[in-house]
Amino acid sequence: MTFKAEYIWIDGTEPTAKLRSKTRVLADGAELPIWGFDGSSTNQADGHSSDRVLKPVFTCPDPIRGGDNVLVLCEVLDIDMTPHASNTRALLTEVAEKYADQESWFGIEQEYTFFKEGRPLGFPIGGFPAPQGGYYCGVGADEVFGRDVVEKHLDLCLEAGLKISGINAEVMPGQWEFQVGPAGPVEVSDHMWVARWLLYRVAEDFGIAATLDPKPAKGDWNGAGAHTNFSTKAMREGYDAIITACEALGEGDKPFEHVKQYGHGIEDRLTGHHETAPWNKYSYGVSDRGASVRIPWQVEVEKKGYIEDRRPNANVDPYVVTRLLVDTCCSALEK
């Protein structure tokens, strides 16, 4: 007997990497082998020496195919078995290891937008729906578009054993959010990439495309972000560490260093409107949805907890945002 392993990897598409996958049929009980692919078709190699290596790093049940079938998230390596230039997971694992004793946790809020026939789901042909106001966490066919896909995606993530922690309808029609976490930096990122793959995959069955475009509708419509909630053990135990982390994120060139790696097109989303802070001005504040970094009100009351970096775009690479936050905040907290 056999089972199917869906090998999933992150490609080298510029400016935003995309997910790719292909299927391997394996004999029952077989270990998941290292595999290869044509890197010249994914912007990860040129045609003359095109072979790239897929190294399995995270496996879970395949809730689409069911049975003994599995999803296999991979890192991309060169044929000398060193990480490929596009392999941001390898960079994260190093930094995560270095600061492992601080016990970082992350919860990432993934916003996304459904598209059908070239426009956001719920947008009428050649026009616009009613202005924003009633859609966020809405109910009813006049305000909610795509719930059947969203519910199916949630079930699939749970069946796969991913640490998905919630879903909600967003401010723009056709826009939704799911949250992954809390979990450590590598785990939350692996789960996020697989959850994204499942989203695209299940939407396919409904003839709908899901996009992480950070500004899918121009004009007076909310963009799509990936608010990244972050804590260390010290932050979960006391307020000084919370403030240290907020200050560290604002020091010197740090705001720019972070923002430029928080997803392509970030200037178009972080305008200072639509619940964002301007991309070029760092700020933090309690309950402030117009700040770069928000301290939730309960955290201020309890004098411990976590912070929310509101800047990352929906199209951010979770391996990158978690690495930057651990690197910047944990090095400051270590002092």
Residues that bind ligand ADP (CB under 6 A): 105-107, 109, 165-166, 179, 181-182, 227, 229-231, 236, 305-306, 308
Q: Which residue is nearest to ligand ADP (CB)?
A: 107
| Residue 186 main-chain phi, psi, to 5 deg | -70, -45
Element (H, E) at 91: helix 88-98
Closest by Cα among 94, 313, 331 to 224: 313
CB of 166 to ligand ADP, least distance (A): 6
Instruction: Mark residues 177-196: x for contact with Mn ion by CB under 5 A, - for none.
Output: x-------------------
Q: Is 227 one of the binding residues for Mn ion (CB under 5 A)?
A: yes
The partner in contact with residue 105, picked from ligand ADP, Mn ion, none with C-beta cut-offs of 5 to 8 angstroms by kind, is ligand ADP
Cα(176)–Cα(137) distance, rounded to whole angstroms?
A: 9
Please give the full DSSP string across 170-193, using - where no structure is assigned: -SSTTEEEEEEEEE-HHHHHHHHH
CB of 167 to ligand ADP, least distance (A): 9
Query: Which residues pair with residue 284 across a beta bridge?
Result: 293
Q: Is 109 one of the binding residues for Mn ion (CB under 5 A)?
A: yes
Nearer Cβ to ligand ADP, position 182 or 216?
182
Q: Is 304 one of the binding residues for Mn ion (CB under 5 A)?
A: no
CB of 113 to Mn ion, least distance (A): 12
Nearer Cβ to Mn ion, position 177 or 327?
177
Nearer Cβ to ligand ADP, position 39 or 305?
305
Residues 6+ apart with CB under 8 A from 114: 120, 121, 145, 146, 149, 174, 175, 176, 203, 208, 209, 210, 211
Query: Which residues pair with residue 169 across a beta bridge?
Result: 176
Closest by Cα among 288, 268, 286, 287 to 278: 268
Part in contact with Mn ion (CB under 5 A); list of ranges 180-188, 209-217, 223-231, 255-263: 223-231
Q: Which residue is nearest to Mn ion (CB)?
A: 227
Cα(118)–Cα(170) distance, rounded to whole angstroms?
A: 20
Interface size with Mn ion, residues (CB under 5 A): 3
CB of 225 to ligand ADP, least distance (A): 10
> Which residues of this chain interact with Mn ion, rule CB under 5 A?
109, 177, 227
